[in-house]
């Protein structure tokens, strides 16, 4: 498990975060900073069209704004994460690059039980989707839903009880920064908001990832309110 007090709240940036104009970027970072103060634990920078330099620049700006109050991860670019001194890197399910992450926190997106089974012992957490239909991916009419979260939680619980050693050979172990444990931290993603975050936790998640609940907020105060409400919705399930 991650060294966070669960439940974990992740904010994934909008796709154009590295291409916002000066004022737009400044206002967005203010919203993220407010959301971090209200409960966001991880900020995941995701902009597939951004350059190596642009990813590093946004990471630096975020670090200056939030300090060590939350972890910063870069999506899909290990080198950018290393150079930007980010805390981690998040890889898509279809990632074809090398597995070495140089000691960074490693997350992986998965969209099936098969993928989760393949990757769960090679990373610190799995980001599982899609939980609900979302505006971020309107083309995806059918989603995996809570059933996938339930299946993956069952799989990791069983694996944790029966695990006797690394599930890869020595070369693979060296490629994955020497991970020699089975993590079970699961993050739900996709269409999650205040109303349904608790249901994702009930299905077995340790936290949720949100995009628009924070990025689409009209101001910093609204972003903070949204982050706090989602965190509280998750906490209520943990207390029950």
For the chain, the distance separating the N- and C-terminal CA atoms, rounded to the nearest angstrom, is: 21
pLDDT of residue 176: 41
Task: Supply the pTM of this predicted model.
Answer: 0.89
Give residue 123's pLDDT band: very low, low, confident or very high (50, 70, 90): confident
Give residue 210's pLDDT band: very low, low, confident or very high (50, 70, 90): very high
DSSP state at residue 139: T
Element (H, E) at 71: strand 71-75
Q: In whole angstroms, how large is the CA radius of gyration of the chain?
A: 17
Cα(145)–Cα(35) distance, rounded to whole angstroms? 26
DSSP state at residue 124: S
Quote the Cα angle for 111-123-239, to 5°. 75
Beta bridge partners of 208: 9, 188
Q: Cβ distance 39 to 231 under 8 Å?
A: yes
Mean per-residue pLDDT for 100-110? 84
pLDDT at 53 over 70: yes
Winning range, highest mean pLDDT, from 83-87, 118-122, 207-211: 207-211
Among 72, 71, 68, 69, residue whose Cα is nearest residue 80: 72
């Amino acid at each position: 498990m991650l060294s966070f007090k669960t439940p974990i709240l992740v904010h994934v940036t909008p796709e154009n975060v590295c291409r916002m104009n000066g004022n737009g970027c400044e206002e967005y970072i203010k919203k993220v900073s407010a959301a971090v103060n209200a409960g966001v634990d991880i900020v995941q920078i995701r902009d597939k069209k951004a350059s190596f330099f642009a990813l590093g620049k946004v990471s630096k700006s975020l670090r200056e704004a939030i300090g060590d109050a939350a972890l910063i991860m870069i999506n899909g670019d290990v080198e950018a994460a290393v150079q930007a001194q980010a805390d981690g890197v998040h890889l898509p399910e279809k990632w074809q690059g090398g597995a070495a992450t140089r000691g960074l926190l490693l997350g992986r997106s998965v969209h099936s039980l098969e993928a989760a089974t393949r990757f769960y012992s090679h990373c610190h957490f799995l980001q599982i989707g899609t939980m609900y239909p979302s505006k971020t991916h309107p083309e995806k009419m059918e989603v995996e839903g809570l059933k996938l979260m339930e299946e993956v939680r069952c799989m990791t619980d069983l694996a944790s009880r029966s695990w006797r050693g690394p599930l890869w050979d020595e070369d693979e172990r060296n490629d994955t920064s020497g991970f020699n444990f089975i993590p079970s931290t699961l993050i739900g993603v996709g269409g999650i908001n205040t109303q349904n975050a608790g249901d994702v936790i009930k299905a077995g998640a340790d936290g949720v990832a949100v995009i628009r609940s924070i990025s689409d907020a009209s101001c910093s105060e609204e972003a903070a309110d949204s982050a706090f409400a989602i965190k509280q919705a998750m906490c209520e399930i943990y207390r029950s």
